[in-house]
Amino acid sequence: MTIRLDGQVAIITGAGQGLGRTHALALAERGAKIVINDLGGSRDGTGQSSQAAESVVKEIKAHGGEAIANGADVANFEQVEAMVRQAMEHWGRIDILINNAGILRDKSFLKMTPEDFRLVVDVHLMGSFNCAKAVWAIMREQEYGRIVFTSSSSGLYGNFGQSNYGAAKMGVIGLMNVLHLEGAKYNIHVNALAPAAGTRMTEDIFPDALFDLFAPEAVSPGVVFLSGPDAPSRKIMTAAAGSFAVSKIYETEGINFTPTELTAEAIAEAWSTIDNPDRQCELQAGGEQSMKFGQQAAIKQGIKLKL
């Protein structure tokens, strides 16, 4: 099976360099028309330049593809709406959104300022919301859409000095979960990518050997797959150095306490059972948890539920 994106339009944020650039080139190679969005700022979010976005547009056009540049700040909803209008005026549809734009302001939590925390959350989480919101009605009307959020192992598992980044990157997982449910009947598939790559974002984090091994080009095929017509939905794809995996959130079966049994000490005594992963499961919606706990309580107390 060959994945083709002919006639489709993709918006890729932060596409002027790094992962965004390789995502753009990979999708363009498959026939997609690309909006290269990049504010052109530095790694910490300061500054602005159109040079990087224009350079990627030239690369795509040199290979026979179609692309336009856009310098919207993803944290500014009005600018994002204008970017979406530009795409619609140019090509009349939007099929794919890759939320890739990001900044870093790493500090230990003790030294983290509210401004540093807020700015990173504004770009990563609010920026992802802004872009998804701006294309959502279009994708619903088309009854087709593919959205990829960019998460991170820093959000999924934690990373020292990245409380702002980790919080934002876990936030997009919550957004993905809900949009998956709301978009399902409109054929809008929503996924997340948690990549590791050697880019300017990680140049002082990875040792040289890993930096070279973790080429951005080794991640972008995963984005092509998640952008395609047969893409899954509600998956967290992790990717680096040509390796791909899926991260999942499980909940243990747990146990129920009756009102007369319920104390903090009872929870402490039963902790090994509560934490036992043997019968854990992957819930598909928040309501499933309530149903599970309700059924446990009813069984324990001999109550017949009429559902």
CA distance 286 to 290: 7
User: Of these residues, 144, 165, 186, 250, which one is catalytic?
Assistant: 165
Determine whether 157 is an active site residue. no
Residues 283 and 214: their CA atoms lie apart, in Å, by 33
Of 166, 14, 34, 44, nearest in space to 94 by CA:
34
Report the catalytic residues: 165
